Amino acid sequence: MTTSTAASQAPAVDASSVAADQLKVFIERIERLEEEKAGLASDIKDVYAEAKGTGFDGKALREIIRLRKQDHAERQEAEAILELYMQALGMV
Amino acid sequence: MTTSTAASQAPAVDASSVAADQLKVFIERIERLEEEKAGLASDIKDVYAEAKGTGFDGKALREIIRLRKQDHAERQEAEAILELYMQALGMV
Amino acid sequence: MTTSTAASQAPAVDASSVAADQLKVFIERIERLEEEKAGLASDIKDVYAEAKGTGFDGKALREIIRLRKQDHAERQEAEAILELYMQALGMV
Amino acid sequence: MTTSTAASQAPAVDASSVAADQLKVFIERIERLEEEKAGLASDIKDVYAEAKGTGFDGKALREIIRLRKQDHAERQEAEAILELYMQALGMV
DNA sequence: AACGCATAAGTAAGAC
DNA sequence: GTCTTACTTATGCGTT
């Protein structure tokens, strides 16, 4: 082995190694996904702007979205608990 | 008109109005996009986890991503700043 | 004990308890500090206004402050990152 | 004049000018104030941590602070309106 | 299980 | 007056 000590906990990362190639691939995958995510964030902003242009209050709109998200989360939690209890009671 | 005064600045939003329908559409569009965004965030998390499983250090990985993002941003910013200073100094 | 069960994980907070007094003290300390912070934010705004009145471009000024802050942060960070990567590469 | 055109809207800022000295002073004042502000932010964080250590819930604590700030703002607003009306009525 | 960090949301100021 | 941009706050995530 040319580039790392035997005790290395991490892959050896020099320019020509397999590890460097792997690293590059991981980074590119992440950056690609981050780009898409940023695109969606931008789309969301556009929808808020459009809604505002139609006369809706952006702040109120955001509040509604927030509340509905809470509701969904609580509903899902409730179902999860129900399922848990059903399992505990042997009701599959 | 049954649900709002003539001078209303915002769309009338009662359950049966056109405005309520529009509101519903906006909310659903936003929620749809938010879902996709959350999905991507989850994908990104998975990639980090996979990289970690391969032996890469997650923290270092995030640092690299951050630095590369900075580099890109700074490159784009450099010209903007130059122009800003030229304006500030009256060099048009 | 009049105001809480023995197993209470949180301080009992009714109007006459020791906990209520503690809570009040914490809140007052925080509010005091927040006030001072707001005062400083206001002072900073004033300095920008004064500089602007002297003929300096506020936007450019803010940019300079931002860049100098970055420089300081980056200098401090540089060592941290170095150490981070060394750890990531198993160089302890 | 050696360093700027006659039409310059901004003070001439070369290394030896009075303007450069002024600029330096403004920047140092701002940076000083920013430092103090950051110090207070840090103090506030410490108080929250201490409160948490005593058993208080940080999130609830922040909520209380937020609500009280709103109350104060509304009270101040009410007084401002009162004063406005008194002035409008010639009650000084 | 808790602590600190990092991202993300919301708010407020400033520019055009 | 609108619009963007910057700051502040808040929540969630990873780590210890």
Q: Report, as an integer, the average pLDDT of A44-52.
A: 94
C55 → chain D, closest CA residue: D10
Say whether residue C63 is in contact with chain B using an 8 A CB cutoff.
Answer: yes
Residue whose entry in the numeric block shows the structure tokens 């290395």: A8
Q: Does the structure show a pLDDT above 80 at B79?
A: yes
Q: Report, as an integer, the average pLDDT of B56-73.
A: 90
- CB count within 10 Å of CB C55 equals 13
- Residue D78: per-residue pLDDT: 86
* DSSP H or E segment with residue D81: helix D58-88
Pick B15 or C33 by higher pLDDT: C33
Touching subunits for chain C (3+ Cβ pairs under 8 A): A, B, D
Contacts of B44 (CB under 8 A, 6+ apart): A30, A33, A34, A37
- Residue B86: per-residue pLDDT: 86
Looking at CA atoms only, how far is residue D31 from chain B in angstroms?
20
- Residue B9: per-residue pLDDT: 53
Between chains, do B56 and C88 touch, taking CB under 8 Å as contact?
Answer: yes
Q: From residue A54, give the alpha-carbon distance in Å to each of A47, A62, C32.
A: 11, 15, 43
Point out the least confidently predicted range of C6-10, C45-49, C54-58, D62-66.
C6-10
C51 contacts in chain D (CB < 8 Å)? 26
Q: Which tokens sit at C88?
A: 């990531």
Say whether residue C92 is in contact with chain A using an 8 A CB cutoff.
Answer: no
Q: Report, as an integer, the average pLDDT of B74-87.
A: 84
- Cβ–Cβ under 8 Å, residues A20 and A14: yes
D20 → chain C, closest CA residue: C56
Looking at CA atoms only, how far is residue A30 from chain C in angstroms?
19
Q: Which of residues 64-83 of B touch C (CB under 8 A)?
A: 81
- Cβ–Cβ under 8 Å, residues A54 and B89: no
Confidence of residue A34 (pLDDT cuts 50, 70, 90): very high
Confidence of residue B15 (pLDDT cuts 50, 70, 90): low
Q: Does the structure show a pLDDT above 50 at D13?
A: yes
Contacts of A37 (CB under 8 A, 6+ apart): B37, B40, B41, B44
Share of chain D above pLDDT 70, in %: 85
- Residue C15: per-residue pLDDT: 59
Residue B65 has its nearest CB partner, among A11, A27, A69, at A27
Say whether residue C37 is in contact with chain D using an 8 A CB cutoff.
Answer: yes
Helix ranges, chain A (H):
18-54, 58-88
Alpha carbon distance, N-terminus to C-terminus of chain A? 54
Share of chain D above pLDDT 90, in %: 40
Q: Report, as an integer, the average pLDDT of C45-54.
A: 94
Question: Sign of the CA dihedral A39, A71, B19, B16?
Answer: positive
